[in-house]
Amino acid sequence: TVLNKASLIGREAKYAPDRPKMARAIENRLAINMALQIDAAVAYGLNKPGTELTREDTQNPDNPFNTYVHKGLPPTPIASPGAESLAAVVNPEPGEWIFWTAVNLETGETKFAVTWDDHEANVAELRQWQ
């Protein structure tokens, strides 16, 4: 499971400081039996870029890597994780984050949220950027 989690983080995080927070958010989601909803996993299962995912892609139960419809970790790692991602999984940053959103796809700036309302504000920021 360390490799699975680290592979997800490796594909989701652009910056090293975000990795321990993502690791915590993944742990927090798993602890409450929440779907991970990680685009990188869905994209891996479809062999397409995450930036090209559609709503239909995230609702397709035929993709075993679809972490929107299948709770828990994907069946296998989605990449070969680097040392920073592995370290993040082994030592996640303390926090209550559940959500993260890349609010600027050019820079990879990512914001983390505990509540749905804060997450929605981050999503709105992403939409303004787009």
Give residue-wise pLDDT tens across range 81-111: 999 999 999 999 999 999 999 888 788 889 9
Closest by CA position to 24, among listed 82, 80, 100, 78:
100
pLDDT of residue 79: 95
Q: What is the pLDDT of residue 130?
A: 66
* Per-residue pLDDT at 91: 97
For residues 24-35, give the mean pLDDT: 97
Q: What is the Cα–Cα distance from 114 to 101, expressed in whole angstroms? A: 12
> Bigger pLDDT: 22 or 50?
22
- Residue whose structure tokens are 């959103």: 101
What's the confidence (pLDDT) of residue 100?
94
pLDDT of res. 128: 86
102 or 2, greater pLDDT:
2
For the segment 38-78, what is each residue's pLDDT rounded down to a tens digit?
A: 999 999 999 999 888 999 999 999 999 999 999 999 999 99
Contacts of 11 (CB under 8 A, 6+ apart): 40, 41, 44, 50, 78, 79
